[in-house]
Amino acid sequence: MLLIRSVKITDTHSPYNGQLKDILVENGQISQIADHIEAANAQVLEGKNWHISPGWVDMRVHAYDPGYEQKEDLRSACAAAAVGGFTDIAVLPNAKPALDSKDTLVYVKHRALGQVVNVHPIGAVTKSCEGKDFTEMIDLSHAGAVAFSDGSHPIYNTHILLKSLQYLQQVDRVLMNRPEDYDLTVFGQMNEGEVSTLLGMRGIPTIAEELMVMRDLKMLEYMGIKSETPLLHFSTISTATTVELIRAAKAKGYPVSCDVAAHQIAFDDSALLNFDTNYKVNPPFRAQSDIEAIWEGLADGTIDAVVSDHNPQDEESKNLEFDLAEFGIIGLETAFAVLNTHNTQLPLDQLVGKLTHQPRAILRLPSVTISEANVANFTIFNPDLEWIFKETRSKSKNSPFFGTQFKGKAVYVINQGMVEKCG
């Protein structure tokens, strides 16, 4: 039995949203919510300025297990996720072997048993994520894949994109695509612009993302589908034009959603002036005008979710000359803090919705709402707590945020009958 005292409920779907309440949990369920609760022999949690929301969901995590466990494994990813306040993570299929068979999906689900964090495998669209041959998506859906994607690889073949959308429509799963035209980004290292010219580095133009978004949206138009339930999801968008394209598509009723990586709002391309490979990400940090458009998209609902895009890379992959280093940063432990620290536009409950209700709806996960008789899947956090990011539970250390002071931090995660302190 667990008693959480005097906590502010931050949940737009809850009848108690914005209210200060005591919450009693018994056998993994909320048994009572009231102004004051007495419960003998209950474990009591209480703290200053604590808020509680449904457990946070990260839709985009590179776990690299199996195959690349020197970078990360599922247990270390879950540990980092818990510290960051996440009770659910969706792991991308870019492992070795890829998550393209029932066996690898079963491996992921079994490997994550006993964790406070639920792990949801994303099935590969093509075998080995190579973009050539279809996986058995319907079978993988029945085996537990919550969505389908080739992860870090865009779905480049238009025929495969069309057929995948048609298959997934039948099984009520979403196709997650990262929009990038490889022909325009080959050898690219950072955003194409004044800074890349100054540094003499090959740029990644914004049009490489925007052309693929246009293509994918045109495919939805060709299929003639209109629905409020997303069938196509754009992962880690980064440009102002992309935001506008998706906004227009939603206004027409197309079944589309999108997310942005938390780190995308923290830096523009000037961050790369010192050639620090910890700032090398894909999509790259763009211009300040793109960041402003992203905030507008978050505020008006064009952008549905925020992800960590947690992409651990070991020293051998990052501590290199800039053009040889791998893309990616770790982000599970800092995603909320980055979002909250830089936020100037969204009310807190709407901000938290980008980590809770919206990603759950996109992934077709069961709804979690703070109400009596519902499952106890919570994140307790203090939105005003100031702290410095000093250490990580990830196996990899590739983050530009070490030494950064943030505002806002998760305090506890509660899920599956377990209570775990965040750090």
> Per residue in 326-383, pLDDT tens?
999 999 999 999 999 999 999 999 999 999 999 999 999 999 999 999 999 999 999 9
For 160-185, what is the mean pLDDT?
96
- Read off the pLDDT band of 147 (50, 70, 90): very high
Nearest to 406 by CA among 328, 343, 329: 343
Nearest to 25 by CA among 378, 317, 368: 378
Active site residue 150: no
Would you say the C-alpha torsion 204, 98, 128, 150 has a positive or negative sign? negative
pTM over 0.95: yes
pLDDT reading at 423 higher than 90: no
pLDDT reading at 205 higher than 90: yes
| Alpha carbons 75 and 73: distance in angstroms, whole number | 6
- Read off the pLDDT band of 172 (50, 70, 90): very high
For the chain, list the domains and their CATH numbers: 2-51+373-385+393-421 (2.30.40.10), 56-363 (3.20.20.140)
pLDDT tens for each residue of 233-276 = 999 999 999 999 999 999 999 999 999 999 999 999 999 999 99
For 295-302, what is the mean pLDDT?
98
For 270-290, what is the mean pLDDT?
97
| Alpha carbons 275 and 278: distance in angstroms, whole number | 9
Query: Average pLDDT of the chain?
Result: 97
Q: Which of 216, 259, 309, 349 is catalytic?
A: 309
Q: What confidence score (pLDDT) does residue 55 get?
A: 98
For 75-79, what is the mean pLDDT?
97
Q: Are 287 and 193 in contact (CB under 8 A)?
A: yes
Task: Pick left, alpha or beta for residue 200 (phi over 0 → left; psi -120 to 50 → alpha; otherwise beta).
Answer: left
State the pairing for strand pair 118-124/305-307. unpaired
- Read off the pLDDT band of 143 (50, 70, 90): very high
pLDDT reading at 406 higher than 90: yes
